[in-house]
């Protein structure tokens, strides 16, 4: 069994980015700037945002986190986004999801300047992804492709089964795999006889947020399993796949932690760098 080590792969990418950014700062007189907007007190979001801040600082990206109270009115949040759109020193804006109830995340995402949309969640950038046009790619799906590439796993011609149809993982991941010539099936909570479908997968990606959901009976021998789940249990951080049960059956699997999560952050740095280079060249 091959362990798809996202922590290590992300570290390699981050080291390369760090060198590249140092050169660019020299040439353009300012570092890439990332603004993270964090609304409310959601505990996991606090952890992710701290990880992002640390990764940015290490790579030479100037990141600023704007922490807003959970009862921030929609109009005020929209005002913050517009201020950040107008700022020359900010190349990327990330609105940490989920937002507290009462706030309309889609309206906020629609407002982010597509040129600063480092999550790739703006409808224009989602459309560009669908059309195979250049643009920022959502961090988790793009990080998964980079991880597969790193280990020489090519989705071309393979049956890629995705469990989960979210806008931030399942749907964009389907498009990226399709663009790389995978045969893609997207399953979800209403799918009938899910195990019959996941068992066809050469590559099985799970992103539903249920601890240990993907069991050995649900995958074929020699499959590649990509675990996008991050579930906090009494036993620590667990993925959506039954890692222990699967490890003797699969050809390769991503661990949790240390798999897809660190790749998501590396991709965010990459997207921020791309926004920056596009903006300083204008
Ligand atoms: N606008 C927006 N963009 C996102 O990209 C976004 C988001 N909202 N909301 C939440 C999800 C989740 N996400 C993760 C990032 C890093 C880890 C990560 O670093 N995971 C570590 C462990 C971290 C821990 O200890 O919890 C690992 O898997 O090894 C996980 C998950 C980004 N997301």
Task: Say whether pLDDT at 273 is over 90.
Answer: yes
* Protein residues with CB under 6 Å of any ligand 1 atom: 47-48, 51, 94-97, 119, 139-140, 230, 237, 256-258, 261-262, 264-265
Ligand 1: centre distance to CA 72 (Å):
23
Helix (H) or strand (E) holding 62: strand 62-68
CA of 144 to the centre of ligand 1 (A): 13
| Residue among 117, 119, 202, 242 flagged as catalytic | 119
pLDDT in tens, 119-163: 999 999 999 999 999 999 999 999 999 999 999 999 999 999 999
**Architecture of the domain defined by 139-260:** 3-Layer(aba) Sandwich (3.40)
Residues 65-83: pLDDT tens digits? 999 999 999 999 999 999 9
**Does residue 200 carry a catalytic annotation?**
no
* φ and ψ of 219, to 5 deg: -130, 155
DSSP class of 116: G
In this predicted complex, what is the ipTM? 0.96
Q: Give the domain 30-114 fold.
A: Rossmann fold (3.40.50)
Q: Are strands 231-233 and 236-238 parallel, antiparallel or unpaired?
A: antiparallel
pLDDT score, position 282: 77
Q: Are 17 and 269 in contact (CB under 8 A)?
A: yes
Backbone angles phi, psi at 217, to 5 degrees: -65, -15
The Cα–Cα gap between 126 and 47 comes to: 26
Backbone angles phi, psi at 68, to 5 degrees: -120, 145
- Looking at ligand 1, which residue's alpha carbon is closest to its atom 22? 257
6 and 262 in contact (C-beta within 8 Å)? yes
Predicted local distance difference test score (pLDDT) of residue 36: 98
* DSSP H helical ranges for 42-153: 43-59, 74-86, 105-111, 123-130, 139-150
Tell me the pLDDT of the chain averaged across its residues.
98
Taken in order 92, 97, 102, 105, the sign of the CA dihedral is positive
Do 30-114 and 139-260 fold alike per CATH?
yes
Give 29-62 pLDDT, tens digit per residue.
Answer: 999 999 999 999 999 999 999 999 999 999 999 9
- Going by CA atoms, what residue is nearest to atom 2 of ligand 1? 96
Domain ranges in the chain are: 30-114, 139-260
């Amino acid at each position: 069994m091959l362990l798809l080590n996202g922590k290590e792969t992300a570290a390699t990418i981050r080291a390369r980015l760090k060198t590249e950014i140092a050169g660019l700062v020299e040439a353009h007189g300012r570092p890439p700037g990332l603004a993270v907007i964090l609304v409310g007190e959601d505990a996991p979001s606090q952890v992710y945002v701290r990880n992002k801040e640390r990764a940015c600082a290490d790579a030479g990206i100037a990141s600023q986190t704007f922490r807003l109270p959970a009862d921030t009115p929609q109009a005020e949040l929209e005002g913050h986004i517009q201020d950040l759109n107008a700022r020359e020193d900010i190349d990327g804006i990330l609105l940490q999801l989920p937002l507290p109830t009462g706030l309309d995340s889609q309206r906020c995402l629609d407002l982010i300047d597509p040129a600063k949309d480092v999550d790739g969640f703006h409808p224009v950038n989602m459309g560009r992804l669908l059309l195979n046009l250049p643009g920022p790619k959502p961090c988790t799906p793009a990080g998964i492709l980079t991880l597969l590439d790193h280990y020489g796993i090519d989705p071309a011609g393979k049956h890629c089964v995705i469990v989960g149809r979210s806008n931030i993982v399942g749907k964009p991941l389907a498009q990226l795999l399709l663009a790389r010539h995978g045969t893609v099936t997207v399953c979800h909570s209403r799918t009938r006889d899910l195990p019959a479908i996941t068992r066809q997968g050469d590559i099985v990606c799970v992103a539903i947020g249920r601890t240990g959901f993907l069991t050995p009976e649900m995958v074929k021998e020699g499959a590649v399993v990509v675990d996008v789940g991050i579930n906090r249990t009494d036993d620590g951080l667990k993925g959506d796949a039954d890692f222990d049960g699967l490890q003797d059956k699969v050809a390769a699997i991503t661990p949790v932690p240390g798999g897809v999560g660190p790749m998501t952050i590396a991709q965010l740095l990459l997207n921020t760098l791309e926004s920056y280079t596009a903006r300083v060249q204008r």
